[in-house]
Amino acid sequence: MDGGGRFPEPLIAAGPAGGPAGGAPAPGASLPGGWAGTGILTRYLPRFLRPRRASVAIPIEKRMPRLLGTSLLFGFFGLVGATGFVASGAYAEVVARHGALADIAARAAGFGLDKVTIAGLIQLQPAEILHAARIDQRNSLPFLDVVGVRDRLAEVPLIGAVSVRKIYPHELVVTLTEREPSALWQRNGEIAVISADGTVIDRMRDGRFAALPLVVGDEANLRTKEYLDLLDAAGPLKERIRAGTLVSGRRWTLKLDGIDIRLPETGAREAMARLVKLDAASHLLDKDIIAVDLRMPDRLVVRLTEEGAAVRQEAQKKKQKGKGTET
């Protein structure tokens, strides 16, 4: 105390920065930044509205994640290496041999395409289906595009309908319906496989359809049913008929063991039945003839081979000579 009975210092210890003890601001004092009543604000205001302490400046090298520079360096060299791997063609070679990276990973995980079940095959072979679908050992089941496989198979002319489904972990099931080939159609030197309604299924590629009936000429494919009906009318001669040619889009000429059977434009089935009866009675088609004309309903015209014509002519001469001697 001084001589006047006063203490030289306050009895309450001063807080930080000359404020009251405990750090609380003196009554009526202003807070930094113009805020007043910090305790009330922090108690009643939302967190995002409360005053924040000034951030302490930290050197940038301490704020960066550890080993960031090393990671960036390795990433850069990895990118350069990957770019060179792709640009050199090595990646394309790996894909060509083993498939895409996703397929390689899926096969390693046990989802390889190990089994393909194909149902509905009649004329087609399994190898043809796999080739058309572009399926091989490089594929994996998870990354196989079944829609793409189905669309590619639908483009095969001999396939009428097809469905494709996956059975995990490693099986693919292909179910298809083949179009039924009915005949072969020859035009301009090319032979195509056609259905009963004349629709072209595919071009003749091998001998699997060689036993089908053959029609020849423009629009002959559209009259295939008519030709097949004539074959039925031929009865025992059916196996000897090799082809049917549509002449001028009006009538048929059948090729029977090298003999042309010329049928009329109307009544062709009846004319064929007449030929069957005639051959059964006289074995006409076993003689030296090259053509039988049935276009006239009341008569039959036969054209002989050169040898047959010579024999017939000689026989007629002998017959005439014999008649002259008797006279």
- Tens of each residue's pLDDT in the chain, 327 residues: 455 555 455 544 444 444 444 444 444 444 444 444 555 656 666 666 666 655 556 666 566 666 666 776 667 666 666 566 556 665 567 556 667 888 888 888 999 999 999 999 988 899 999 999 999 888 899 999 999 999 999 999 889 899 999 999 999 999 999 988 999 999 988 999 998 888 898 888 878 888 999 999 999 999 999 999 999 999 999 999 999 999 999 999 999 988 999 999 999 999 999 999 999 999 999 888 899 999 998 888 998 887 766 666 666 666 666 655 554
Q: For residues 34 and 43, what is the distance between their CA atoms, to the nearest angstrom?
A: 18
Listed residues 149, 178, 207: the one ending a domain: 178
Whether residues 160 and 250 share a domain: the answer is no
The confidence score (pLDDT) of residue 183 equals 95
Whether residues 198 and 304 share a domain: the answer is yes
| Inside any domain, residue 6 | no
Whether residues 213 and 189 share a domain: the answer is yes
Sign of CA dihedral 219, 224, 226, 230: positive
DSSP designation for 174 = E
pTM of the model: 0.55
Whether residues 239 and 158 share a domain: the answer is no
| Inside any domain, residue 117 | yes
Whether residues 153 and 235 share a domain: the answer is no
> What CATH number does the domain containing 170 carry?
3.10.20.310
Whether residues 149 and 171 share a domain: the answer is yes
Domain total for the chain? 3
Whether residues 153 and 189 share a domain: the answer is no
Q: For residues 294 and 261, what is the distance between their CA atoms, to the nearest angstrom?
A: 7
The confidence score (pLDDT) of residue 309 equals 64
Whether residues 189 and 114 share a domain: the answer is no
| Inside any domain, residue 23 | no
Q: For residues 318 and 312, what is the distance between their CA atoms, to the nearest angstrom?
A: 10
Alpha helices in the chain (DSSP H): 38-44, 60-63, 68-87, 90-98, 101-108, 126-133, 146-154, 224-233, 268-282, 306-326
In DSSP terms, 261 is beta-bridged to 254, 292
Whether residues 202 and 263 share a domain: the answer is yes
DSSP designation for 216 = E
| Inside any domain, residue 7 | no
Q: Token pair 């031929």 is at which residue?
A: 234
DSSP codes of every residue in 1-50: --TTS--SS-SSPB-GGG-BGGGPPPTTPPPGGG---HHHHHHHS-GGGS
H or E stretch at 187? strand 183-187
Listed residues 118, 152, 178: the one ending a domain: 178
Backbone angles phi, psi at 238, to 5 degrees: -60, -45
Paired tokens of 42: 């922090």
| Inside any domain, residue 10 | no
Listed residues 82, 98, 114: the one ending a domain: 98
Whether residues 174 and 225 share a domain: the answer is no
> What CATH number does the domain containing 279 carry?
3.40.50.11690
Domain range enclosing 73: 69-98
Whether residues 141 and 257 share a domain: the answer is no
Whether residues 231 and 297 share a domain: the answer is yes
| Inside any domain, residue 255 | yes
